[in-house]
Amino acid sequence: TLKAGALKVGTLKAGTMKAGTLRVGTLKAGTLRVGTLKAGTLKAGTLRVGTLKAGTLRVGTLKAGTMKAGTLRVGTLKAGTLRVGTLKAGTLKAGTLRVGTLKAGTLRVGTLKAGTMKAGTLRVGTLKAGTLRVGTLKAGTLKAGTLKMGTLKAGALKVGTLKAGTMKAGTLRVGTLKAGTLRVGTLKAGTLKAGTLKMGTL
């Protein structure tokens, strides 16, 4: 057990923590604070935590290649637990982030750059109202088959602007849409191509 303020690390240099170095059962709020994680600092299986309470883990910047496949696995994330300022291209590789349940307001991302999220990177079973919010989708950000959802509840998906060529054929497939579920601010010419939007019931 680590009490509040017990472990503070300013900078972790490349190769500092090897596999199996740090194992903690429970982390209380504000226990672990790290300023910068350099490439290769956290190797697969290095950090294992049983339970993360709200505000326990805060990371300022994740550089390309910092988190390798299988590095971070969490069963349940409480509201406000994981906050990331910027995701650079290639930062999250396929299978890197696996989460069982996402509560309202759990995952917040400021900007998604082109090519940041590859096919199969983000898979979620159920999205509750207000869980996923994206400000701007740039051209080529969402590739075919990237976003697949079984059920969308009211207010679950909100998109501000769709630029030309952003959504390709077969990108968005939804079985049932309830009243007020899908809201789009502006559709520019050529944004929705033939066969792009398929819905079972409106």
Q: Where among 76, 108, 140 does a domain terminate?
A: 108
Question: Do residues 71 and 138 share a domain?
Answer: no
3-state secondary structure (DSSP) of residue 99:
strand
The 10s digit of each residue's pLDDT in 192-201 is 555 555 555 5
In a domain, 119, yes or no: no
Any idea which residue has 């209380």 for tokens?
A: 28
Residues 25 and 99 in one domain: yes
Q: What is the DSSP code (8-state) at residue 42?
A: B
H helices of the chain, in order, are none
Mark whether 2 and 102 lie in a shared domain: yes
* Entry pTM: 0.25
In a domain, residue 117? The reply is no
Instruction: Write down the pLDDT at residue 94.
Output: 46
Q: What's the whole-number average pLDDT of the chain?
A: 56
The token pair at 140 is: 């080529």
Within a domain: 49: yes
pLDDT category of residue 46 using cuts at 50, 70 and 90:
low
140-165, pLDDT tens digit by residue? 555 544 555 556 666 666 666 666 55
Residues 104, 11 share a domain: yes
- Range(s) of the domain holding residue 200: 124-202
Q: Judge whether residue 56 has pLDDT over 50.
A: yes
Quote the pLDDT of residue 146. Answer: 52
With bands split at pLDDT 50, 70 and 90, how would you rate the model's confidence at 131?
Answer: low
**Is residue 26 predicted with pLDDT exceeding 60?**
yes
Looking at the structure, tell me whether residues 182 and 84 fall in a common domain: no
Single out the residue of 1, 56, 69 nearest to residue 29, CA to CA.
56
Please compute the mean of the pLDDT values over residues 2-17 and round it to a whole number: 61
* Whole-number pLDDT of residue 165: 57
Could you tell me the CA-to-CA distances from 90 to 35, 86, 87, 115, 121 in Å, in that order?
21, 12, 8, 7, 11
My answer on whether 140 and 63 are in the same domain is: no
Q: How many domains does the chain have?
A: 2
pLDDT tens, residue by residue, 81-97: 555 555 554 555 444 45
Q: Which amino acid is at 46?
A: T
Assess whether pLDDT exceeds 50 at residue 119.
Answer: no
Is 138 found in the same domain as 86? Answer: no
Looking at the fold, whether 2 and 74 belong to one and the same domain comes out as yes
Distance CA 195, CA 182 (A): 18
CA max distance for the chain = 58
